[in-house]
Structure 1
Amino acid sequence: MNKWLVSVSIALALATGGVQAAGGDAAAGKAKSAVCMACHGPDGNSPVPSGPAATWPKLAGQHASYLAKQMADFKTQARKDPIMMGMVAALSEQDMADLAAYYSSQKQSDGIAAADQVQAGEKMFRAGNTATGVAACMACHGPAGLGNPAANFPRISGQHAAYTEKALKDFRSGARANDVGKMMQGVAAKMTDEEITAVSQYIQGLR
């Protein structure tokens, strides 16, 4: 990990350490999650991706602070998605905290990586691409992809490859811009389609 990334990671950890789903109640969140089930599943493990469902992410086991931030960003339209912006429009801060607490308490289902993408994907995840300046994913998300809740870096392990691929391409194009310090935009901007596909598959099978 280069010195710049270390410095930024430390700064963000200090700056975002206070971002929490404060006061979230998992039981209350479960009661409020009925409307979320159609896309994200009853326990936050969205259906096996195919067709439009390919970009419905797993929420189970994700850090509560990260989930709460994403819902808040959809509400303020800092992060744009027509479906999600409509879904969160009527949610209060407490509703979002409760939902985040519920989904973070659930166990994520395992995923399987495409065998022909594992080697290239692992290389990107663990070492990045020094020739093009792509930082290793594990520098922020950890060697097992479990993230860093203190810095609000999300868990990515086990996530559907199609969702991760879309997220990286959205960061690359600027369609998604709610990352702190434009860190993900900077990383994704240097990635090729092949690198994105490979690392997304590797992440899907990471556990």
Structure 2
Amino acid sequence: MLKRTLISACTAAFIGLSGAALAGGHGEKPEANPWTNFALQNTLNKMPAGNAANGKELSDQWMCAACHGETGKSPSRNYASINGMPKEYTIKMMLDYRDGRRWENYKQANIMVKLAQSMNDQEIADLAAFYAEQPLTNWTDSTDVDPKIDRLVRKGDVNRMITPCASCHGVHGEGHGVVPSLAGQVPEYFVRTMKAYQDGQRHNDVNQGMSQFTHDLTDEEIQGLADYYAAMPAVKE
């Protein structure tokens, strides 16, 4: 019953969108230049300050909870958890959806694309501020830690030129700036994301960092990392 209600709410939110964003051709991909570090930082600096209270109202208005949960913790294994996500990262993702940098699978991402295209910069900043204020949460309570995966997270793999995950995403998976938090992420979403980078379907990462780091990871390692972060204790610095 819950799953059916969530799907209905997602559909209603999508149907309820209005304005020029929905007037364009179906699935027409906007053209946007890839990010450079300077261009991204310059864009973020120009974004308005976000208001978390307004962001909460927007999340209700756009029925974000139907897919991502009331506070950003996904109620489903189909969608990402975005609670505790750094505001800069959420802003970047929404701009990437809006401008066509994130378009790896339009059939799966069309709701996010249309939502982003319907929002102005202030609304995007407000939503990002709301989700950034929400606490990180565990997805699972497993205490089993694979030593090989733990080493990959903390030490990386010099032989394969794989940088430690913690060096960018934080020791506690808390993320920072445009680097997303990973602690408590839905494992299925984590795996899909890593495979999308690995297969070249997703390429909105600045300097193609994730595309490079995921290239030599095995399926077993990707699943191991997904399980590792899903159970990571919720700590946000």
Q: If the TM-score is normalised by the length of the shorter chain, which range does it land in?
A: 0.7 to 0.9
How far residue 168 of structure 1 moved from its aligned partner, in angstroms, is 0.8
Q: Give the 3-state SS of the residue equivalent to 1:195 in structure 2.
A: helix
Structure 1: runs of 5+ lacking an equivalent: 1-10, 48-52
Choose between structure 1 and 2: higher helix proportion: 1
TM-score by length of 1: 0.83
Identity of aligned residues (%): 30
Partner of 2:183: 157
Q: Give the 3-state SS of the residue equivalent to 1:131 in structure 2.
A: helix
Is 2:136–2:183's contact at 8 Å kept on the other side of the alignment? no
Alignment of 1:53-202 (within 5 A): 53-80=76-103, 81-112=109-140, 118-149=146-177, 152-202=178-228
Question: Judging changes above 3 Å, is the alpha-carbon distance between structure 1 residues 44 and 162 closer, same or farther for their aligned structure 2 residues?
Answer: same
CA deviation string 1:159-204 (max 9, x = no partner): 1111111111111111111101100001011211111111111011
TM-score by length of 2: 0.73
Letter in 1 for 2:102: R
RMSD across aligned C-alpha pairs, in angstroms?
2.3
How far residue 17 of structure 1 moved from its aligned partner, in angstroms, is 8.2
Structure 2: runs of 5+ lacking an equivalent: 1-35, 104-108
How far residue 102 of structure 1 moved from its aligned partner, in angstroms, is 0.7
Q: Distance in 2 between matches of 1:120 and 1:205?
A: 16
Q: Distance in 2 between matches of 1:199 and 1:177?
A: 20
Is 1:118–1:201's contact at 8 Å kept on the other side of the alignment? no
Q: How many residues align?
A: 190
Is 2:143–2:231's contact at 8 Å kept on the other side of the alignment? no
Is 2:48–2:121's contact at 8 Å kept on the other side of the alignment? no
